[in-house]
């Protein structure tokens, strides 16, 4: 009996808060204290399917930024993870702390100072500026997921490939990358998720000119247009949910990897 | 390789260079953007504003921190909501993970539901709590329908309140499953066997939890809670949307002062971000010390 109550609380606690979101997305009028909306509406759905609305431009901007951040963070974090996972060297702890710090320090604390710097170099209010800024919270996660993968990687395989005549690039493509592929998929997913959900960094660095999906959702909530806010939220949640389905076989069973969800 | 043992000097230099090259891109980004950006903020907090005439370098902004009623109230709200959310998420996360692990039927489905909101952005979580918990929200409607309240005002004010209840609720909804999943991952590695051994040696239920399960889940749970604590201290969207103008969270006050047209309030905005940084550091160090002490006692 106790266990049934526990399961009930868990399922209800996780899923119940999402229900009003779905209802609001298709309601025009839903005044208190009615339990069902007085008037249904397709306004919210139109916003997310009509290619002429701001929402679609928001999706395009968000997607472009998230893909660029994912690629860059992976390219930068992979070698750093290799150095930390595979090698022992003097000052390693300091480097580890330095590369982990951006995951712990509040984004806002960094973004204000970064904005001042970005204004000077003309990067404020631009998409490249936002991409650059979002590397800060993403690189720590990529680096540490890759470091834990390289800690279990046997460098001997690379030696063998070299002995058999493979060049550096060939060794990287046919030996190293396949060996760490699950971790790379997970790391890239986290980079995408963090970039896709990031609000305050985009707001400060993008100055309201770079309108990603979270900024649009926030705007609709502020103007109390709950129908559009709810509908756009559903679209906002969709890509991360689809991608988690695709990467789930790499996500389970690996300890510590789930830590990447900390920032989303 | 024919020769083993200590590599020659030349090889060591070469290896060292290789490591530096591997780390260089990440270090450049972190040093220039993160350390440089934060450093710029610190400089401005001490009044270093060369573009502003008559600005003086000094610690005025820090003195103002304690004089400013909004900042003082913000510290209270921020620390209160962050600590409460972290502790509640930890307790519920552990409970959820243990519940899922001990269920025989439907374990996969249950763990899937438990993790369903992990990829949901915090912004959406805040909107969900607004639609659920406000005085005209879903719970209030249910309360009226069942005769518990007779008007929207009869429902307790938990969104836009001074304490920050719905802020805590939004964090816990997101972070309890997060901590739970980290714990489930730690538990998946052969703990059941150890528990069987402990049971055959006569250990009771509480003893098994305390001496077998807890040491296994402690490192992951501690790391996850620190991330939660750090995130909740610095979060912006959740306290902005679910809180009210006064008292507001420190992050909300900081950004508001930063965007003030009057550049005079710039140093104070930056001083608040330094305060946020120090708060996260202090809470994390304190939390780690506490966890360490608990581990030593339980041994």
In chain B, what percentage of residues exceed pLDDT 90?
Answer: 52
Residue B52 lies in a domain: no
B282 pLDDT band, cuts 50/70/90, is confident
Task: Pick from A2, A113, A147, A207 the residue to mutate for testing the B interface (most B CBs within 10 Å).
Answer: A113
Same domain as B121, residue B81: yes
Q: Look at the block and give the residue holding tokens 């401005």.
A: B44
Q: How many distinct structural domains can be found in chain B?
A: 2
Mind telling me how many Å the CA of A257 is from chain B's nearest CA? 8
Scanning B32-61 for CB atoms below 8 A from A yields 33-42, 44
Over 90: is that where the pLDDT of B25 sits?
yes
Quick one: tokens of B11? 């090889």
Same domain as B260, residue B238: yes
Q: Residue A45 contacts by C-beta under 8 Å, 6 or more apart in sequence?
A: A25, A26, A231
Same domain as A151, residue A52: yes
Lowest mean pLDDT among B8-12, B91-95, B240-244: B8-12
Same domain as A56, residue A28: no
Same domain as B228, residue B95: yes
* pLDDT tens sequence across A9-67: 999 999 999 999 999 999 988 888 888 888 888 888 888 888 788 888 999 999 999 99
Give the max Cα distance, chain A. Answer: 75
Q: Give me the phi and psi of A28, to 5 degrees please.
A: -90, -45
Q: Give me the phi and psi of B268, to 5 degrees please.
A: -65, -40
Mind telling me how many Å the CA of B224 is from chain A's nearest CA? 6
Quick one: tokens of B240? 């902005």
Q: Give me the phi and psi of B6, to 5 degrees please.
A: -65, 125
Residue B197 lies in a domain: yes
Q: Which one, of B229, B122, B109, lies nearest residue A218 by Cα?
A: B122
Question: For residue A34, what are the domain limits?
Answer: 1-41
A256 pLDDT band, cuts 50/70/90, is low
3-class secondary structure for B180-226?
HHHHHHHHCCCHHHHHHHHHHCCCCHHHHHHHHHHHHHHHHHHHHHH
Residue B51 lies in a domain: no
In chain A, what percentage of residues exceed pLDDT 90?
Answer: 56
- Long-range pairs for A13-16: beta carbons < 8 A, 24 or more residues apart: A13/B173, A14/B113, A14/B114, A14/B116, A14/B117, A14/B173, A14/B177, A15/B113, A15/B116, A16/B132
Cβ neighbours of A16 in B, within 8 Å:
132
* pLDDT tens sequence across A94-143: 999 899 889 888 899 899 989 988 998 999 999 999 999 999 999 999 99
Same domain as A206, residue A83: yes
Same domain as A113, residue A31: no
Q: Cβ B138–A200 below 8 Å, yes or no?
A: no
* pLDDT tens sequence across B118-140: 899 999 999 999 999 999 999 99
Same domain as A6, residue A58: no
Distances (CA, A) of B278 to A102, B38, B39, B143: 14, 12, 14, 42
Same domain as A47, residue A37: no
Task: ipTM value, please give it.
Answer: 0.92
Question: For residue B200, what are the domain limits?
Answer: 57-298
Over 50: is that where the pLDDT of B151 sits?
yes
Task: Pick from B125, B131, B237 the residue to mutate for testing the A interface (most A CBs within 10 Å).
Answer: B131
pLDDT of residue A215: 96
Distances (CA, A) of B267 to A219, B30, B55, B257: 28, 24, 10, 9
Same domain as B244, residue B136: yes
Same domain as B149, residue B193: yes
Q: Indicate the residue of B26, B131, B241 with minimum beta-carbon distance to A80.
A: B26
Same domain as A78, residue A118: yes
Same domain as B203, residue B66: yes
Same domain as A97, residue A2: no
Same domain as B143, residue B238: yes
Give me chain A's average pLDDT, please: 89
Residue B111 lies in a domain: yes
pLDDT of residue B298: 60
Select, from the ranges A212-216, B201-205, B263-267, the one with the highest average predicted confidence (pLDDT): A212-216
Same domain as A105, residue A21: no
In chain B, what percentage of residues exceed pLDDT 70?
Answer: 96
Provide Rg for chain B, Cα atoms: 25
Report the pLDDT averaged over residues B246-269: 92
d(CA A84, CA A100): 12
Lowest mean pLDDT among A155-169, B56-70, B113-127, B182-196: B182-196
Same domain as A163, residue A239: yes
Residue B248 belongs to domain with CATH number: 1.10.3720.10
d(CA B251, CA B276): 8
Q: How many distinct structural domains can be found in chain A?
A: 2
HSE-CB at A110 with a 13 A cutoff on CA atoms is 24
d(CA B261, CA A66): 31
Same domain as A152, residue A26: no
Assess A238–B contact: CB distance below 8 Å, yes or no. Answer: no
pTM over 0.80: yes
Count of CB atoms within 10 A of residue A60's CB? 12
HSE-CB at A77 with a 13 A cutoff on CA atoms is 32
Q: Cβ A258–B15 below 8 Å, yes or no?
A: no
Report the pLDDT averaged over residues B269-291: 86
Q: Where are any strands of DSSP class E within A36-184? A: 39-40
Over 70: is that where the pLDDT of A262 sits?
no
Select, from the ranges A21-35, A62-76, B268-282, the one with the highest average predicted confidence (pLDDT): A62-76
Q: Which helix (H) or strand (E) holds A27?
A: strand A27-29
pLDDT of residue B299: 55
pLDDT of residue B2: 47
Mind telling me how many Å the CA of B150 is from chain A's nearest CA? 9
d(CA A195, CA A236): 12
Q: Cβ B40–A13 below 8 Å, yes or no?
A: no
Same domain as A110, residue A19: no
């Amino acid at each position: 009996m106790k266990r049934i109550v526990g399961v009930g609380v868990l399922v209800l606690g996780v899923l119940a808060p999402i229900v009003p979101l779905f209802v609001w997305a298709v309601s025009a009028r839903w005044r208190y204290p009615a339990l069902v909306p007085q008037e249904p509406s397709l306004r919210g759905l139109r916003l997310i399917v009509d290619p002429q609305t701001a929402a679609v431009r928001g999706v395009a901007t968000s997607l472009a930024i998230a893909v660029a951040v994912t690629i860059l963070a992976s390219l930068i974090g992979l070698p750093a993870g290799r150095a930390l996972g595979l090698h022992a060297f003097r000052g390693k702890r300091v480097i580890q702390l330095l590369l982990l710090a951006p995951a712990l320090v509040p984004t806002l604390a960094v973004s204000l100072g970064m904005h001042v710097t970005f204004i000077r170099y003309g990067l404020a209010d631009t998409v490249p500026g936002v991409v650059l800024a979002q590397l800060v919270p993403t690189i720590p996660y990529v680096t540490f997921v890759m470091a834990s993968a390289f800690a279990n990687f046997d460098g001997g395989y690379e030696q063998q490939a070299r002995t058999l005549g493979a060049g550096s690039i060939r060794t990287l493509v046919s030996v190293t990358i396949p060996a760490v592929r699950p971790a790379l998929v997970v790391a890239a997913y986290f980079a995408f998720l963090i970039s896709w959900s990031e609000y305050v960094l985009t707001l400060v660095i993008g100055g309201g000119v770079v309108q990603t999906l979270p900024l649009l959702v926030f705007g609709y909530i502020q103007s109390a247009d709950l129908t559009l806010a709810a509908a756009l939220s559903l679209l906002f949640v969709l890509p991360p949910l689809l991608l988690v389905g695709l990467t789930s076989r790499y996500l389970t069973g690996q300890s510590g990897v789930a830590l990447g969800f900390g920032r989303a | 390789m024919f020769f083993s043992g200590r590599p020659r000097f030349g090889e060591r230099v070469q290896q060292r260079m290789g490591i530096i090259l591997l780390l260089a891109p990440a270090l450049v980004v972190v040093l220039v953007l993160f350390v440089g950006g934060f450093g710029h903020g610190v400089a401005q907090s001490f009044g270093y504003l060369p573009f502003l005439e008559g600005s003086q370098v000094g610690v005025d902004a820090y003195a103002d921190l304690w004089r400013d009623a909004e900042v003082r109230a913000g510290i209270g709200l921020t620390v209160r909501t962050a600590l409460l959310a972290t502790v509640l998420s930890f307790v519920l996360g552990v409970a959820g993970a243990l519940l899922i692990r001990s269920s025989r039927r439907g374990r996969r489905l249950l763990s899937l539901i438990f993790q369903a909101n992990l990829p949901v952005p915090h912004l959406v979580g805040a909107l969900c709590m607004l639609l659920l918990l406000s005085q005209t929200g879903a719970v209030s409607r249910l309360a009226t329908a069942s005769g518990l309240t007779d008007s929207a005002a009869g429902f307790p004010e938990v969104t836009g309140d001074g304490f920050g209840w719905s802020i805590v609720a939004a964090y816990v909804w997101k972070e309890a499953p997060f901590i739970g999943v980290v714990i489930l991952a730690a538990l998946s590695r052969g703990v059941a066997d150890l528990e069987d051994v402990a049971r055959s040696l006569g250990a009771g239920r509480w003893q098994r939890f305390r001496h077998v399960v807890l040491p296994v889940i402690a490192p992951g749970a501690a790391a996850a809670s620190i991330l939660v604590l750090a995130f909740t201290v610095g979060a912006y969207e959740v306290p902005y949307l679910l809180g009210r103008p006064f008292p507001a969270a420190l992050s909300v006050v900081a950004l508001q002062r930063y965007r003030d047209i009057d550049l005079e309030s710039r140093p104070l905005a930056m001083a608040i971000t330094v305060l946020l940084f120090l708060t996260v550091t202090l809470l994390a160090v304190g939390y780690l010390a506490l966890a360490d002490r608990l581990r030593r006692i339980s041994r």
